[in-house]
Structure 1
Amino acid sequence: MLSNSSSVLKTGDWIKGKSRKGELIIGYIESLNISQGVFKVNVITSDNQETVGKTIPILSNQVKSLPVSIVINKEQILFLIDLALSTGDEDWFIELSSKLNSIKQLVNGVN
């Protein structure tokens, strides 16, 4: 774990920050180097499309933790399922699919 100005961050946490070139990025921490204060971040979205899908180093003082969001509707879950597939996170995909199935069962039970 590595601490920055806003919280303690660890592998798997979602962050937003700026690359060394000043590009805005949103992604998740793949690894961290405590002694150097550097995160290796898998970039999911960026204002530089060439960076998307790559893992780049970012200094810990250049990132902030993204807040955990509560998924409440089908569209949000479908978006997150796509994200889980694109990042190869099988456990998250299974968890989200289960939530989606629960919503479908609830809707079918109301009809």
Structure 2
Amino acid sequence: MRFEMSDWVQGRAENGELIQGFIVAIHEAEAALKVHVVQSDNEAVVGKGLMMREQWLKDMPFAETEDAGQIADLVDLALATQDVAWFEELSARLKQGARQDAPSGGRAGFRATRNRLDLPRYQ
């Protein structure tokens, strides 16, 4: 199997819908993977797990995120998926960025932003 748990993948499901998501289970005997769908052209499958054949999927390209807002959104996703290691990695990147942005001799300021649920989030 060329994929591992939590890998981000994209492909076409059996019914032809395009999906993007991450692997939550691997069934090597059937060469199948269970993918938690995060984005699709079929809204009915978003948020659900789909069984997919390995050959229907490909790796999602890696995108480097340096923007604090993007990293904060990924922190939310790490919390939602209960991925502790990823959460800690992203939190460290946010802290490192805050230190670099801080004026010399001063403290980094925090600004409130709004997330998808229209709840304040502080950076």
Q: In the TM superposition, what are the counterparts of 1:1-111 in structure 2 within 5 Å?
A: 2=1, 8-110=2-104
> Number of residues paired by the alignment?
105
Shift of 1:74: 1.1
Ranges in structure 2 where 5+ consecutive residues have no aligned partner: 107-123
Superposition misfits of 4+ residues, deviation over 3 angstroms:
none
**Which protein has greater RCO, CA pairs closer than 8 Å, 6+ apart?**
1
Ranges in structure 1 where 5+ consecutive residues have no aligned partner: 3-7
Give the letter for the 1:97 counterpart.
S
Sequence identity, in percent?
Answer: 33
Shift of 1:68: 2.3
Q: What's the TM-score, normalizing by structure 2?
A: 0.76
Shift of 1:89: 1.6
Structure number with larger C-alpha Rg: 2
Q: What's the TM-score, normalizing by structure 1?
A: 0.83
Q: RMSD over aligned Cα, in angstroms?
A: 1.6
Distance 2:14 2:60 in 1: 19
